């Protein structure tokens, strides 16, 4: 009897599981919101999002990823969940950063279009329908918001301008003005194919491009001043941001073939050094055989030291390339590629 009830129960949960899955398969939009200490903003944000969604007849979910808040944000989320069943709350045990929160949200989301936005009400949910349209109708892989008119202090806007310029040049994505806007829309496939870690959330368009998603567009969005709380990123954002750009660029280009980078540089340096050394030895031998008195000893010539350094550095670079090649050969990801389609 027990077994029978148990089986019944199981089949019941299975069926339930499947039906809910089917309904999720056709979900229009997942809104992913990373948040760290934004308790005051959350009620306003969720009610605004759901107002926009219901007004446009979208099926949706709101994934709130609490990045280790300690201001009671999680309690607010739990309370809101009772009011809005569309909410999916995920709570980190500690603060891991915006990128980590986004990554977890991307793993969890089910909607055909995924919208990311900040929790601080600086991004307006009213932009969602137009972003959705751009992805579904204009077939963009990614649409990034552009805060053309910003409500931030000058200390933030000027470095950001410079930053965007460098990123544009290095990434080859010339049509984006504002890489780091929190408000973005993605085709589901994009977020399921990329990984965001460290502080790489600033460069998601670049990561997407490296993963082979090249239809990247932009939409001017309204930007509002922060209503509650304060910014969570200090001046370190600029230093970390620049280092991240370098790693993204390098990893994207050479991660699978490090020897091409280090090997080329190393070989060039080694060769230059060797030629200089041979030249110095040649000159010396010539002087000896011709019995000419030389004006300077070998160790007194700058060229000697330059040759020495070039040979050593070249050899080191070459060795680094070799070791990196071995590391990449041992990586479990070494043969992971993005396959778009098969027939």
Query: Would you give the end-to-end CA distance of the chain in angstroms?
Result: 49
Of 38, 127, 178, 199, the residue at the interface with ligand UDP (CB under 6 A) is 38
**Nearest approach, Cβ of 180 to ligand UDP (angstroms)?**
7
Structure tokens that stand for 294 in this block: 């030389």
The one among 120, 123, 127, 199 contacting Mg ion by CB under 5 A? 120
The label of the residue with tokens 């004006």 reads: 295
Which of Mg ion, ligand UDP, none does residue 32 bind (CB under 5 to 8 Å by kind)? Answer: none
Q: Does 182 bind ligand UDP (CB under 6 A)?
A: yes
Query: DSSP letter at 153?
Result: -
Stretch that binds ligand UDP, among 95-103, 184-192, 206-214, 301-309 (CB under 6 A): 95-103
- How far apart, in Å, are the Cα atoms of 97 and each of 102, 226, 240, 251, 304? 9, 19, 13, 21, 50
What is the DSSP pairing of strand 142-146 with strand 216-220?
A: parallel
The reply to whether 218 sits near ligand UDP by the rule CB under 6 A is no
Least Cβ distance, residue 223 to Mg ion (angstroms): 9
Among 30, 37, 116, 122, binds Mg ion (CB under 5 A): 122
Q: Which helix (H) or strand (E) holds 30?
A: strand 29-35
Binder among 76, 97, 146, 207 for ligand UDP (CB under 6 A):
97
What the block records as the tokens of 307 is 């040759």
Nearer to ligand UDP, 183 or 324 (CB): 183
To Mg ion, the closest distance from the beta carbon of 227 in angstroms equals: 10
Which whole-number Å values give the CA distances from 230 to 38, 161, 202, 227, 238, in the listed order? 9, 22, 19, 9, 18
By CB under 5 A, residue 41 contacts Mg ion: no
Task: Give the number of residues in contact with ligand UDP, rule: CB under 6 A.
Answer: 17
**127 to 38, 60, 67, 104: CA distances (angstroms):** 21, 15, 25, 23
- Does residue 180 interact with Mg ion by CB under 5 A? no
Contact segment (CB under 6 A) with ligand UDP among 7-15, 74-82, 226-234, 318-326 equals 226-234
Single out the residue of 233, 254, 304, 315 in contact with ligand UDP (rule: CB under 6 A): 233
Residues contacting residue 130 through CB under 8 Å, at least 6 positions apart: 219
| Nearest CB to ligand UDP, comparing residues 159 and 252 | 159
Residue 24, Cβ density class (10 Å: 0-12 exposed, 13-18 middle, ≥19 buried): middle
CB of 296 to ligand UDP, least distance (A): 60
**Piece of the chain touching Mg ion by CB under 5 A; list 37-45, 91-99, 121-129, 206-214:** 121-129
Identify any residues that bridge with 30 across adjacent strands, giving them in sequence order.
Answer: 61, 114
Bridge-partner residues for 91, per DSSP?
66
Whichever of 97 and 111 has its CB closer to ligand UDP, that residue is: 97
Looking at 3-11, 97-105, 286-294, 323-331, which segment touches ligand UDP (CB under 6 A)?
97-105
Hey, which residues between 282 and 341 contact ligand UDP (CB under 6 A)?
none
Binding mask 73-92 for ligand UDP (x = CB under 6 A): --------------------
321 binds, among Mg ion, ligand UDP, none (CB under 5 to 8 A by kind): none
Instruction: Report, in Å, the least distance between residue 95 CB and ligand UDP.
Output: 5
Q: Which residues contact 69 (CB under 8 A, 6 or more apart)?
A: 35, 36, 37, 38, 39, 95
Residues near 283 by beta carbon (within 8 Å), at least 6 away in sequence: none
- DSSP letters for 195-252: ---TTGGGGHHHHHHHTT---EEEEE--B----SS--S--THHHHHHHHHHHHHHHHH
Interacting residues toward ligand UDP by CB under 6 A: 34-36, 38, 67, 95, 97-98, 101, 118-120, 122, 182, 231-233
Interacting residues toward Mg ion by CB under 5 A: 118, 120, 122
């Amino acid at each position: 009897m027990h077994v029978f009830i148990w089986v019944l129960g199981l089949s019941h949960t299975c069926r339930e599981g499947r039906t809910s899955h089917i309904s999720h398969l056709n979900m229009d939009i997942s809104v992913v919101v990373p948040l760290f200490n934004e308790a005051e903003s959350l009620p306003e944000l969720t009610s605004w999002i759901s107002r926009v969604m219901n007004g446009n007849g979208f099926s949706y979910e709101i994934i709130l990823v609490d990045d280790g808040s300690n201001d009671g944000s999680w309690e607010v989320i739990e309370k809101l969940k009772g009011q809005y069943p569309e909410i999916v709350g995920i709570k980190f045990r500690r603060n891991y950063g915006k990128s980590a929160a986004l990554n977890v949200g991307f793993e969890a989301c089910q909607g055909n279009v995924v919208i990311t936005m900040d929790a601080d009400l600086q991004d307006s949910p009213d932009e969602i329908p137009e972003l959705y349209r751009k992805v579904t109708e204009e077939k963009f892989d990614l649409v990034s918001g552009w805060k053309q008119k910003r409500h931030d202090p000058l200390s933030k806007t000027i470095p950001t301008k410079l930053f965007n310029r460098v990123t544009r040049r290095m990434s080859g994505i010339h049509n984006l003005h504002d890489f780091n806007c929190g408000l973005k829309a993605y085709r589901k496939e994009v977020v399921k194919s990329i990984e965001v870690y460290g502080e790489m959330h600033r460069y998601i368009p670049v990561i997407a491009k490296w993963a082979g998603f090249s239809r990247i567009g932009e939409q001017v969005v309204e930007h509002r001043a922060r209503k509650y709380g304060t910014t969570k990123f200090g001046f370190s954002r600029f230093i970390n941001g620049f280092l991240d750009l370098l790693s993204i660029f390098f990893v994207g280009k050479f991660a699978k073939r490090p020897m091409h980078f280090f090997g080329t540089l190393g070989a060039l340096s080694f060769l230059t050094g060797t030629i200089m050394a041979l030249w110095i030895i040649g000159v010396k031998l010539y002087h000896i055989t011709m019995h000419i008195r030389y004006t300077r000893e070998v160790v007194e010539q700058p060229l000697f030291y330059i040759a020495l350094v070039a040979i050593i550095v070249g050899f080191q670079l070459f060795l680094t390339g070799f070791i990196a090649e071995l590391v990449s050969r041992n990586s479990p990801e070494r043969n992971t590629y993005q396959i778009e389609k098969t027939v």
